[in-house]
Amino acid sequence: MKLRFLIVGLGSMGKRRIRNLLALGERNIVGFDIRPDRNKEAKEQYGVKVINTFKDISPEDFDVMIISTAPLAHGDYIRFALKHKKHFFVEHPVGDDGYEDIFKNKDMDIIKAPSCTFRFYAPIVAIKKILADGAIGKILAFQYHMGQYLPDWHPWEDYREVYFSKKETGACREMLPFELIWLNWLMDSSVQSITGLTAKVSDLDMAADDIFLADVKYKNGIFGSLMVDVISRKPFRTLRILGSDGVLDWERFDHSIKIHKSQTGQTEIIATPKGHPETGYVNEEEMYNDEIKAFLAAIKEKIPYPHTFADNLQLLKTMFALEKSSHSGKCISL
C-alpha cells in the first residue's frame, strides 16, 4: 500500500519523523511548519516537499497525518485529521485538547495513534521479558529517576524560546506521563493513587517547574517512587525494581541490566545495545523507527497499535493529580 504523508511541525520531532519514514522506505512526504526556516531546513536536508501556508494543504493530497507540533497545537490538527478521516499519529502531549473529539469518533475507521516511543526501546523490551519470566519474582516496589539539564535538550537553540520552558508545556509536565507509559507497562498496571511535589528549584530562566517528585501506588499493589527533573547536569534514566526473589537495576547510559538473584547471591549483567543517535541527540533513532513502523503496520496490516488515547488520558490524569497533590499536600486517588 502506497501512502502519502503530511508531517505538521518540522522542529526536532518533525524532522525525526521524516527520518523515520525515509528509513522505512516511505518517500511520499510533505511537510508543513509555521516557521519558514524550518520548512527550508527540512526541504534542504531531506529533500521533502514543503508547504508554507496551511490553507494551501488539500486533504485530497495525503492519507496520513503526523502531528509533531508543540503540544498546545495538537488539538486543532487532531480535529482536522478527524474531519477529513485521515489516519494520524500524535507526539506526546501535556494536555487533553482533542481527546474528547477522538472519543466522540471512536468508531471512525482510521488509525489514531499516540506516541509511546519507549515501549519500543530495546532495553525496556528486554526488562519486560525478564520480569515476565519471573527472574526477580513478584514485583513489590521500584525507584525511578529521569534527569537531563534542559539547555542540553536542544543545544542548537535557546531553551527559553522552546515550548518545554513554558509553564503550561514544561518539560517535567511532558516527561512524567511519558515515562509512565513504559513504567506502567512494566508494572502491568496503572496508578491508583499519587502524592508528591512539583517545583522550580534552579536558576533556569523560565516559568516551568524543573522537578517533579512522586510516590505512587498501583492498582495491583506495587509501590513506586519517581523523580523527573531538568536540572541534572549529567543525564540519567535509572531504574531499580525490587522483587520477592531479587533486584533489577538499569542505568540507561551504562548500557546494561543487572539482575541480582537472592537464591544464588550472584548478579548477572546483561549488555544492552547502544543504538545510533542522530548527531546532537541523546536518544537512539531505532526506537522511533520501530514506533512509526508499528503505526504503519496498524494502517497497512491491521495489527493493533500498542497504546491508545484512553491510555494516554489516564497518564495525563496522573500528572494532573500530582500537581493537585503538590498544591494540597494530600494523596490523590485516580
Lookup result for grid cell 497545537: 73
Which pLDDT value is given to residue 218?
98
Q: How far apart are CA 269 and CA 329, in angstroms?
A: 40
Q: What number of other Cβ atoms are within 10 A of residue 168's Cβ?
A: 12
Which pLDDT value is given to residue 274?
87
Which pLDDT value is given to residue 106?
93
Name residues whose C-beta falls within 8 Å of residue 308's C-beta, 6 or more positions apart in sequence.
114
Tens-digit pLDDT profile for residues 228-238 = 999 999 999 99
Most confident of 70-74, 183-187, 275-279: 183-187
Tens-digit pLDDT profile for residues 65-111 = 999 999 999 999 999 999 999 999 999 999 999 999 999 999 999 99
Tens-digit pLDDT profile for residues 133-155 = 999 999 999 999 999 999 999 88
pLDDT at 8 over 90: yes
Which pLDDT value is given to residue 174?
95
pLDDT at 284 over 80: yes
pTM of the model: 0.95
Which pLDDT value is given to residue 1?
78
pLDDT at 277 over 80: no
Handedness of CA 116, 121, 124, 130 (dihedral sign): positive
Beta strands across the sheet bearing 112-114: 49-51, 29-32, 5-8, 64-67, 87-90, 112-114
Q: What percent of the chain has pLDDT over 90?
A: 94
